[in-house]
A and B are shown apart, each in its own frame.
Chain A
Amino acid sequence: MGPVSWILLLPFLGAAALLGIPSHQVKWVRRIAAAATGIPLVLALFLAAAYSKAQGGFQWVDRIPWIRALGIHYQVGVDGISAVLVLLHALCSFTGVLISYRIKERVKEYYLFYLLLIGGVYGVFVSLDLFFFYLFYEMAVIPMFPLIGIWGSGEKAYATMKLTLYLTAGAVLALVGLLSLYLISGIRSFDLIELSRYLAQNPIPGSFQRWLFPFLLIGFGVIAPMWPLHSWSPIGHAAAPSAVSMLHAGVLMKLGSYAILRVAVGLLPEGAYTWLPWVAGISIMNILYGGFVALAQKDIKFLIGYSSSSHMGYVLLGIACLNPLAVSGAVLLMFAHGLMTALAFAAVGHIYDQTHTRQIAEWGGLARQVPFIATAFVVSALASSGLPGFANFVAELLVFFGSWETYRLPALAAVFGIVITAFYMLRAVRTGFFGPLNPRWAGLKDAAPFERLPYFILITALVIVGCFPSLLTDLIAVSVPSALSPLEGLQVVAMR
């Protein structure tokens, strides 16, 4: 069993171990959760460092046949793209576990669901079998229901119901697409590598691809979230506990764009050529509309929520361009946005736990009282606004360069998007953190030294990738061309 399987297995092992521990042993519960996410982080760093760029392709592949008759195999492995996303998830989930020290009730159950969620997300990123891909996809969605419903705040009942139903509806739509794909291919295999190799030789008829593609696009697009299917996400962020918001906005949303890239584009290239120009158009709505709605928000979590759906528009635009440059930018942006938004939610959660209000106007002058948390939030605001030195800038720049010659108008909108981002982010900083301290918050506590670790991890990762982007872009650049290789030769057809 290789490192990839261990990464996938450890959160589940941790969850199983939690079952055997009495609920009152809170310390041990937290230790196990930290180990079950910390070791995968180390392994994920190893994967990113040791992935052989010369060899390329999927590496550390583990394959165990499961149901031969149906062609279902447990098969996992990573390429440059998934290695980067696994690293993102490892960073977010480990820091999320650390942030969760603030959870005080039903601690064991909380970590249990949290670890199941983490394991499910790992599963999506490393699965190389469509059956398991879908299984883990659902597994990532379901634990959100209790996590928000029990440990959430505000309109949590409505939020968790809406989120779960919405995502499940999307998943079912995608399932129809996946099963049609499985049946039409005729080789009776869910094996993603085998399937794509076979389809490269015997492509599905173009007319069928064009019909099938929307199922996968919309099904996965719900979680991406593609406008106008995004409305589950801001309220989901708002109601979820901080660590869940971190994973939710940081990683869960990326499942959608990852699935579109890996499965929909990879297996249905002609469908992609037909439909993705529409996605480029929709991404304008994501970016500008999301940005303007964010400008009108008064609740900080809704603001970050709409900001996320705005920034995922850049990712969708990058993928829609279907050229290696823009797609690489999109993958890097998934990474950067995930870290940045996790940082923002962590900082906001720290404050909300004490103030019990998320209305920015009710905060005021918090920088004086909680300088460390304020610094973390300002860093996330500047990173989100695309300040050089942070990974977000490089990623957005790559998307700009990549989309500029493919879709001029959406690219223009995307560049304008960073102006809007700066407006709402700096306005939030100004209103919530600067100015004279609101005397109501004179008792607020800053992060204690041991609580600062997750913030340091996230900021360091953002800065390192921001200054040395080739650490990740070299990885991504190896795999993006092969992920796009099914499209080769199609350009001519599409042109006609």
Chain B
Amino acid sequence: MVAAWVLLFAPALAFLGIVGVGLRSRRISAGLAIGGLAVSFFCAVALLLQPAAHTLKNAAESSLTWVKLPGLLLEFGILVDPWAVLMSLVVTGVGLNIFIYSVGYMKGDAGFTRYFAVLSLFAFSMLGIVLANNFVTCFIFWELVGASSYLLIGHWYDRPKAAEAGKKAFLVNRIADFGFLLGILLLWSLSGLAGETKTLNYLELAKRLEFLAASPAVNASLLALAGGLIFCGVVGKSAQFPLHVWLPDAMEGPTPVSALIHAATMVAAGVYLLSRAFFLFAASPDLMALIAWVGGATALLAAGLALVENDIKRILAYSTLSQLGFMVMALGLGGRAAGIYHLTTHAFFKALLFLGAGSVIHALHTNDIRQMGGLLKPMPVTSATFLVGTFALCGIFPLSGFFSKDEILAVAYAHDPLLWKIGTLTAGLTAFYMGRLVSIAFLGESRARHPAREAPPIMTRPLLVLAFFSAVGGFLGIPHFLMGAPNHEEMNWTVAVTSTVVSAAGLGLAFALFRLSWRPLPWLTRLARPFLTLLERKYFVDDLYAWINRNVQQRLAHLSNAFERYVIIGLWVNGTAKMTGLTGSALRLIQTGKVQAYALLFLAGLSLLTFLSLGKPWAR
């Protein structure tokens, strides 16, 4: 258990160290960040080697009291089980490669030390989500990764686009977390219905839900509602449709950040939460169907967006969206292990692809694939590893992506044939856009303005490590490790063969179109035109949000402001002041200074009093 606590807090200490002493020295700050994460990595390995971690039943928990008030006990605790160990390994292992790569990539950047400080903060927060044993601790770290993502996207804050993208990411996630927090509150209420103290602890909730779901006191739809609200948070963090809009823009951040946070780990946190709180979602079949369809829709729609994009990082971002959709779909269909398996392999090959893209951007100073080309010779390591990543992503046997995607498609085939078809179609589209990317950016003649040169070893070595894991990730026995038993499921040949054929067709078609310049029948192009417009405008989702922002939120703000200015301040406050002033002016008229006037008033008052003292004349 000590190892798990050290695992969590090592990057936090690194963060404090950098803020405290290292901010002036680049060497110290990078050293602290990498050292902190390395400690975490070794702790994760130590946890893996512990025999207890291999059995699912032996989930180890350790917690401290954080806040204790009448009616509320919030704990700060960690829960170590095989899922958490695997995820910690992914975060620290992939993270370590990316930290090291960053030293080369960010060399010479003015915000170098700030970059490593926030990166360490991110690692701490991410590990917090992974290890948290209750919803509140999870939510704390959930928000913290959001904040570190905000700071890292906006690392180059004087670029308007980066500043805007950071803000957008934070706000979209905040809207999603509105749902998440409400879900937590509702779940907390429900947990106490049987008369026990209310709790948000995962294990405790899992125990109670079995009982609560059966009890007539609890409305089953309320439980589903709580799950659905928590799923809102997942939709935001894992950038599912329709809250996916922040992720492509987040590519304004430094490329290693895109690799670590916006591809491999943070965006997968939503998927991880789905698995961590699987008991909650699995209790409601309707909710599970919703989750599966949100995932399936995201997978397909995002793959469509990647088809027409020309920015290399944005293509990869849409691909990330699509793959996250795959994972969410898997979880929604009940394939918990399949989803997390794909999360793991995806972390390897997508981090690899992003770092490869970063290496190209570093050399050519452009993100536009039309200004690349002819990279195989000048950048052999980058190109070779990028190809490995591409084939892994496309699910080509025997690379890791083949196995994990196959698991998901097999689950879909078994549960929902329509989603299986969508998934297979998405696999084809994936192969097509990756084929297009490679054909235009890496093959053919160079169209670059700068001569391409291979990156320094500090950047290429992480590429090699990640390429290795992308290649062999399918043979590491990850599903076995997760489920605690050998994988008995037979290879589903229909699924495997179909997806391989579709992927190969996608790759081949892209190669023919973009490398061999094969042009199909012109009427087909004409037919595709409206679809392409739809894709280029990103299904008009951004336009819709801009419209809502302008016409609802801004209008409401201006309406409130006008009410404040004219009714509250103008009428109510200044009106009172004016009335007081007017009353004074009116009363002033009485004080004329003329004895005759006073005598008249005196007489009038005296008459009135006399009249009244005679009794109630009106009562007679």
Q: Which residues of A contact B (CB under 8 A)?
A: 162, 165-166, 228, 231-232, 289, 292-293, 295-297, 323-325, 328, 365, 367-368, 382, 385-389, 393-394, 397-398, 400-402, 404-405, 411-412, 415-416, 418-419, 422-423, 426-427, 429-430, 433-437, 469-470, 473-474, 476-477, 480-481
Contacts and interface: CB of A to CB of B under 8 A. Distances in A.
B144 A293 contact: no
Given A367-B158, A470-B66, A323 B561 contact: no
Contacts of B65: 470
A435 B163 contact: yes
B69 A473 contact: yes
A437 B158 contact: yes
B158 A365 contact: yes
A411 B561 CA distance: 24
Interface residues on B, range: 35 or more
Contacts of B559: 292
11 contacts: A162-B577, A228-B568, A293-B560, A296-B558, A325-B70, A328-B70, A389-B140, A422-B171, A434-B166, A469-B66, A474-B68
Given A388-B139, A426-B167, 19 more contacts: A228-B568, A231-B572, A293-B557, A295-B560, A296-B557, A325-B69, A325-B71, A367-B158, A387-B147, A389-B144, A398-B67, A402-B72, A415-B181, A418-B174, A418-B178, A419-B175, A423-B171, A435-B158, A435-B159
A469 B560 CA distance: 35
B143 A328 contact: no
B185 A473 contact: no
Nearest to A404: B185
Contacts of B160: 434-436
B164 A430 contact: yes
Contacts of A474: 68
Interface string B144-188: 100100100010011110011011001100110010011001001
B204 interface: no
A470 B64 CA distance: 12
B560 A477 contact: no
A392 to B, nearest CB: 12
B181 A477 contact: no
A162 B580 CA distance: 13
B433 to A, nearest CB: 32
Given A297-B561, A325-B71, A435-B160, A400 B185 contact: yes
Interface in B546-589: 553-554, 556-561, 564, 568-569, 572-573, 577
B158 A368 contact: yes
A365 B569 CA distance: 33
Contacts of A427: 167
B136 interface: yes
B185 A401 contact: yes
Nearest to B121: A389
Contacts, number: 141
B178 A415 contact: yes
Nearest to A374: B157
Name which of A387, A388, A429 has the most chain B CB atoms within 10 A of its CB.
Answer: A388
A430 B163 contact: yes
Contacts of B141: 388
Contacts of B572: 228, 231
A289 B560 contact: yes
B189 interface: yes
Given A389-B144, A430-B163, A434-B157, A295 B557 contact: yes
A418 B182 CA distance: 12
Contacts of B557: 292-293, 295-296
Max count, chain A CB within 10 A of own CB: residue among B136, B159, B160, B559: B160
B67 A394 contact: yes
Given A162-B573, A382-B147, A435-B158, A292 B67 contact: no
A231 B573 contact: yes
B157 A412 contact: no
Contact of B154 (A411, A434, A469): A434
Nearest to A481: B70
Query: Of B69, B72, B163, B167, which is in contact with the most chain A CB atoms at under 10 Å from its CB?
Result: B69
Contacts of B568: 228, 231
Contacts of A297: 561
Of B67, B136, B559, most A-chain CB atoms within 10 Å? B67
A398 B564 CA distance: 30
Contact of B143 (A231, A387, A415): A387
A372 to B, nearest CB: 11
Contacts of B185: 400-401, 404, 411, 415
B221 to A, nearest CB: 17
A323 B69 CA distance: 11
B71 A324 contact: yes
Interface string B263-299: 0000000000000000000000000000000000000
A465 to B, nearest CB: 11
A422 B68 contact: no
Contacts of A470: 65-68
Contacts of B171: 419, 422-423, 426
A432 to B, nearest CB: 11
Interface in B38-77: 65-72, 74
A228 B170 CA distance: 31
Interface in B491-546: none
A404 B185 CA distance: 7
B141 to A, nearest CB: 8
Contacts of B561: 292-293, 296-297
Contacts of B553: 295, 423
B68 A397 contact: no
Contacts of B189: 404-405
Contacts of B170: 422, 426
Contacts of B72: 325, 398, 401-402
What 6 pairs between A and B have smallest CB-CB spacing? A434-B163, A296-B561, A295-B557, A388-B140, A292-B560, A296-B557
A433 to B, nearest CB: 8
Interface in B65-113: 65-72, 74
A357 B303 CA distance: 48
Contacts of B71: 323-325, 402
A474 to B, nearest CB: 8
Given A293-B557, A324-B69, A415-B178, A231 B167 contact: no
Contacts of B569: 231
Interface string B234-261: 0000000000000000000000000000
A231 B567 CA distance: 11
A359 to B, nearest CB: 15
A166 B577 CA distance: 10
Nearest to B574: A162
Contacts of B70: 323-325, 328, 477, 480-481
Nearest to A329: B69
Contacts of A382: 147
Contacts of A405: 189
Given A295-B557, A325-B71, A385 B174 contact: yes
B545 to A, nearest CB: 13
Contacts of A368: 157-158
Given A296-B557, A387-B144, A404-B189, A422 B69 contact: no
Contacts of A165: 577
A166 B573 CA distance: 9
Contacts of A324: 69-71
Contacts of B140: 388-389, 393
Given A231-B564, A436-B158, A422 B174 contact: yes
B182 A296 contact: no
Nearest to B560: A292
A419 B139 CA distance: 15
A388 B142 CA distance: 9
B390 to A, nearest CB: 35
A433 B167 CA distance: 12
B246 to A, nearest CB: 13
B124 to A, nearest CB: 11
A426 to B, nearest CB: 5
